[in-house]
Amino acid sequence: MSCLPSRLYAIVDTAQTGGRPLDSVVDAMLAGGVAVLQLRVKDPPADEFLRMALTLRERTARAGCLFIVNDRVDIALAARADGVHLGQEDLPLDAARPLVGNKLIGISTHSLEQAEAAERGGADYIGFGPMFPTRTKETGYASRGLSMLESVRRRVAIPIVAIGGITAENVAQTWESGADAAAMISYLTRSDDVEARVRSVLDRSP
């Protein structure tokens, strides 16, 4: 059974809100039906990051939404998040697991080898990408594409969250190619009507 309650994995990045307050963007996402939300904040002061995480934890808890903190195990624990998502250069999975216990741990992967290693190491789910060209984040990796996603799906049993350049136009293909969920960032947060865009994506979910 998947640990992810939705085919949409929404990420709110403080650099991708189009200048709008974080709270209002998150409220619109939740109103649209987001059931998994990750907070991504790059290089903030720890106290500022924690304040944001605590605010989002309160909002997501009211909405019954799973709340994940990106990169920072300490912030995830302090904010009582449901889990943490770690990149290849963050705290290693085997060091993070004793700290977070049974909270969710997701691992960003960019190759079949990394995906298999994350599963062997006990990750609850993996992020895989970038699927398509994206300007949201410079990963240093070329687009992986649907065929590579299909290969990863054949080799790992844990849930896969596809990420990178996913929009309403290609999300169905992403799900069909083996992703349990599709991560979206700027496609949602930079919309003129965030709530409506979330609903439009969820309406396409099988």
Q: Give catalytic residues, as residue numbers.
A: 40, 108, 137
Closest alpha carbon to 106 in 80, 75, 139, 73: 73
How are beta strands 160-162 and 181-184 bridged, if at all?
parallel
Token duo for residue 106: 């997701």
Token duo for residue 127: 């992020």
- Rounded to a whole number of angstroms, the CA Rg of the chain reads 16
Contact 17, 25 (CB under 8 A): yes
What is 73-87 written as a DSSP string?
A: HHHHHHTT-SEEEE-
